[in-house]
Amino acid sequence: MNYKKIAVIGLGYIGLPTACMFATNGIRVLGVDVNVSVINTLNNGGIHLEEYGLQQKFTDAFQSGMLKVSVNLEDADAYIIAVPTPFYDDKKADMQYVASAAESILPHLRKGNLVVLESTSPPQTTSVFVKSILEKSGLKAGEDFLLAYSPERVLPGQILRELVENARVIGGINQESAEAGRDLYRTFVKGEIILTDSTTAEMVKLMENTYRDVNIAIANEFSRLTDRFNIDIQEAIRIANLHPRVKILNPGPGVGGHCISVDPWFLVEAAPDLAKLIRTAREVNDSQPYFVLASLKNHFGELKGKRICVLGLTFKPDVDDVRESPAVEIVKMLLNEGAIVSAYEPHKSGVIENIQTSPTLEDALQAVELIVVLVAHTVFKSLSPGVIKAQTKSSIGIFDTVHIIGENWDEEGFSVYRLGNGK
Ligand code: SAJ
């Protein structure tokens, strides 16, 4: 199939890089977003999110004239839906953005078009939910137009590379739809393209992130056990992982971001009677910030009035994204306990989720009694005890939830407690 012009609906962390990849590989792209300020930023040549290499990629695509952006959709040969699928407070998937994206295609849908959903979605979203909306056009899915699901599987921070190199799953509502999807993505995907049905593709995506969530949950639960039994979690995991068939991930302050902390709930919602382990893993990871707080009090005493410097607020290292961040949750808990918190986040400044951050590390360290490390940013890994001591004037307490503070800090007199180390 020959795609001369495609439309990408939703220009966030996935839609914008995807639109740029197509546009820099010879396909005319219209990028659409409902957010006027996003479209204005893009039309002025800037981008509204931080992702390695994306500004340059966007500039290339935009200046070549192959990528245009607008709040209004136009006719195209193929439509890619890459809008968010958040959840409501009761952990039920919020499909309103997918629904309105599909509705917006209706007036433009023609015979021979291809529609691909990329947004992470509960099983059968493509073959039932999206199909029924698109068929309001009077055209029949799988016959008049083709419909597929292709999950994004890229890691924030490495999106441009992984879009090209990762294996790509394309699930069609029929074989012809899957093959049409493959022809489209072959434009820039160098990794293997695996064809399947749309519900399998939806399930694969949810299984990948759920697997990771469960693995981190067990690491977090192990950290609670090692704390109780007076052993060191890092040492125990390192030794266990020497077994050729064991690969335990790292415990930490909790699981955040917009993928792993959200997606498993789609399976719990779809089949609550069956997804019991998945629910428990989510609950373990969601409660990890409470364990961090309890541990902190246990090792460093009452928090009321204590001056605490917090290092890192993002959901994981070396990104600017604070969605569902456990670090933010922990800071809010510290403030609730009456602690006086100065937070430093090198990848984002100003007020973050109602938390006033310090402009510099030096600022954040002014007169503090305790440092709490919540994110393993690369810049924090290179901090040295000498530099910190020059600011704090003495060897204060450090609570390290991400295991980046080496033993040299203890030797320098800092009183370090590492999460899950009961030794
Ligand atoms: N985390 C731990 N311990 C670990 C690894 C991660 O506590 O050993 C925490 C992180 O700090 C973070 C959270 O888990 O708070 C999630 O981070 P992540 O790096 O595991 O994953 P995401 O959410 O950035 O990206 C995931 C990826 N999925 C998998 O690796 C299976 C990515 O490939 C997906 O494309 C992405 O979700 C998505 O968009 O679904």
256 lines ligand 1 (CB under 6 A): yes
Tell me the per-residue pLDDT of 259-273, one tens digit each, with 9 for 90 and over: 999 999 999 999 999
Distance 291 CA to ligand 1 centre (A): 20
Q: What's the pLDDT score for residue 157?
A: 87
Burial 250-261 (b: 16+ CB within 10 A, else e): bbbbbbbbbbbb
Calpha distance 67→6 (Å, rounded): 10
Band (pLDDT 50/70/90 cuts) for residue 143 is very high
375 lines ligand 1 (CB under 6 A): no
| pLDDT beyond 90 at 161 | yes
Tell me the per-residue pLDDT of 206-248, one tens digit each, with 9 for 90 and over: 999 999 999 999 999 999 999 999 999 999 999 999 999 999 9
Q: What SS3 class is residue 55? A: helix
| Phi, psi torsion values for 87, nearest 5 degrees | -130, 160
Give the DSSP per-residue string, 328-343: HHHHHHHHHTT-EEEE
The residues that bridge with 343 in the sheet, in sequence order, are 310, 357
CB-based burial label for 377 (10 Å; 0-12, 13-18, 19+): buried
pTM reported for the whole predicted model:
0.93
The residues that are catalytic are 205, 259
Mean of pLDDT values over 124-149: 98
Calpha distance 419→286 (Å, rounded): 16
Distance 260 CA to ligand 1 centre (A): 6
154 Cα nearest atom in ligand 1: 35
Calpha distance 67→352 (Å, rounded): 32
Q: Is the dihedral of CA 338, 344, 350, 351 positive or negative?
A: negative
250 Cα nearest atom in ligand 1: 8
Calpha distance 316→157 (Å, rounded): 10
Mean of pLDDT values over 241-256: 98
Averaged confidence pLDDT in the chain: 96
Give the DSSP per-residue string, 262-297: THHHHHHHH-TTT-HHHHHHHHHHHHHHHHHHHHHH
Give the DSSP per-residue string, 11-31: -STTHHHHHHHHHTTT-EEEE
Tell me the per-residue pLDDT of 84-122, one tens digit each, with 9 for 90 and over: 998 888 888 899 999 999 999 999 999 999 999 999 999
Amino acid at residue number 120: T
Give the DSSP per-residue string, 177-234: HHHHHHHHHTTT--S-EEEEEHHHHHHHHHHHHHHHHHHHHHHHHHHHHHHHTT-BHH
Calpha distance 341→372 (Å, rounded): 10
Q: What's the pLDDT score for residue 20?
A: 98
Q: What's the pLDDT score for residue 90?
A: 85
Q: What SS3 class is residue 173? A: coil
CB-based burial label for 337 (10 Å; 0-12, 13-18, 19+): middle
Mean of pLDDT values over 111-135: 97
Q: How many CB atoms lie within 10 A of CB 384?
A: 12
CB-based burial label for 113 (10 Å; 0-12, 13-18, 19+): buried
CB-based burial label for 371 (10 Å; 0-12, 13-18, 19+): buried
Q: What's the pLDDT score for residue 92?
A: 87
Domains of the chain: 5-191 (3.40.50.720), 219-418 (3.40.50.720)
Distance 73 CA to ligand 1 centre (A): 32
Band (pLDDT 50/70/90 cuts) for residue 185 is very high
Mean of pLDDT values over 152-170: 94
Calpha distance 84→243 (Å, rounded): 39
Kindly state the percentage of the chain with pLDDT values over 70.
Answer: 100
249 lines ligand 1 (CB under 6 A): yes
Between residues 144 and 49, which one has the greater pLDDT? 144
Band (pLDDT 50/70/90 cuts) for residue 394 is confident
Of 220, 234, 255, 380, the residue with max ligand 1 atoms within 8 A of its CB, to mutate for a pocket test, comes to 255
| pLDDT beyond 80 at 276 | yes
Q: Which residues contact 216 (CB under 8 A, 6 or more apart)?
A: 249, 250, 251, 252, 255, 260, 285
The residues that bridge with 7 in the sheet, in sequence order, are 30, 79
Band (pLDDT 50/70/90 cuts) for residue 393 is confident
Calpha distance 31→394 (Å, rounded): 54
| pLDDT beyond 90 at 287 | yes
Question: 327 near 310, Cβ under 8 Å?
Answer: yes
Distance 154 CA to ligand 1 centre (A): 10
CB-based burial label for 339 (10 Å; 0-12, 13-18, 19+): buried
Mean of pLDDT values over 165-188: 98
| pLDDT beyond 90 at 27 | yes
Q: What's the pLDDT score for residue 423?
A: 84
Mean of pLDDT values over 41-58: 95
